[in-house]
Chain A
Amino acid sequence: DAGVIQSPRHEVTEMGQEVTLRCKPISGHNSLFWYRQTMMRGLELLIYFNNNVPIDDSGMPEDRFSAKMPNASFSTLKIQPSEPRDSAVYFCASSSQGHGNSPLHFGNGTRLTVT
């Protein structure tokens, strides 16, 4: 079991550029979550998918953020245009049957720095 795989591990970009973060969930998991971690706000849920369908995107901060899950093995989180306040660690997580008694499995995150 390779776990949740995120890429890239680190991303440094200039303000105004488009950023795309990628995630491969654990095979067989039907729920996928994007979280953002900052010092001020801790771990915040941005959006989650069940069976590739976005269920709740109320945590997405602005229209500059968008997420897609074209199939069960791949998801992207895009920021366009990026701003310095988007600098954070972005985590992808997956689980089976939502949460309940099935804990989330997190990837190692993408550290985004926007200058």
Chain B
Amino acid sequence: DQQVKQNSPSLSVQEGRISILNCDYTNSMFDYFLWYKKYPAEGPTFLISISSIKDKNEDGRFTVFLNKSAKHLSLHIVPSQPGDSAVYFCAAIQGGGADGLTFGKGTHLIIQP
């Protein structure tokens, strides 16, 4: 039973356009959400996060939106750049404590020139 779902295994976007990656979750106890980016042969690296008390968090070209009622979050990248081509993982945690993150299966973003 996947508690964090990324339903698009891959996404292709033209350079300069907006990339929108989606994530749904089922556990209403999750109160903190994170996005990680992963290049081949490397470990995931932290990108951006959002607390459940907010509905938007922005960091440069990256913005995460949270819709708690829909149990849905999205990552917007604008403008998309070739270096953004990677696998993006959505992750969630509950309680703000030391528990492990629950990850989605990832979305492979391909930025086309």
Contacts and interface: CB of A to CB of B under 8 A. Distances in A.
Contacts of A115: none
A15 interface: no
A33 B49 CA distance: 19
Contacts of A55: 98-99
Contacts of B100: 33, 35, 45, 48, 56, 59, 99
B97 A42 contact: no
A106 B99 contact: no
The bracket for how many chain B residues form the interface is 20 to 34
By DSSP majority rule, is chain B's interface helix, strand, loop, or mixed?
A: loop
B46 A104 contact: yes
Interface stretch (B58-66, B73-81, B102-110): B102-110
23 contacts: A4-B43, A35-B100, A42-B103, A43-B89, A43-B103, A43-B105, A43-B106, A44-B103, A48-B98, A48-B100, A56-B99, A56-B100, A91-B43, A98-B98, A98-B99, A99-B32, A99-B93, A99-B96, A99-B97, A103-B49, A107-B43, A108-B43, A109-B43
